[in-house]
Amino acid sequence: MTLNPTSLNFRQTLSLNPDAPPSIPDLSVVQPMLIGPITDLLTFYSDLWLTMRQDNFNRAGNHTYVKFGDPASWADGNYVVLDRTRLILI
């Protein structure tokens, strides 16, 4: 695959500083094939950032429970993703 100059120059800012929350980069400037890998990396760093802010994560094997009243899913109950170009209402 050949990347265009804008995609080649794209940089994703990441930090392990617990006071610097991850932010969503401008995905409109990159080629569509890069959006998945960019958001996957952001998901990893977002999870790590949240974990670093927990006081009880200081040894291997530590765990915690976070009470959250909504389903933990990206699905909204109205759409099923069949492929990256089409959403089907169910």
Q: pLDDT by residue (tens digit) across 55-90?
A: 777 777 887 777 777 666 655 666 655 555 544 444
* Helix, coil or strand: residue 90: coil
CA dist., res. 80 & res. 87, Å (int): 6
Q: Give the model confidence (pLDDT) of 20-48 as tens digits.
A: 888 888 999 999 999 999 988 888 888 88
* Nearest Cα residue to 49 out of 57, 59, 38, 61: 57
Here the contacts of 44-48 (C-beta below 8 Å, separation 24 or greater) are 45/14, 46/22, 48/16
Where do we find the tokens 């930090």? 15
Higher pLDDT, 8 or 18: 8
This prediction has a pTM of 0.60
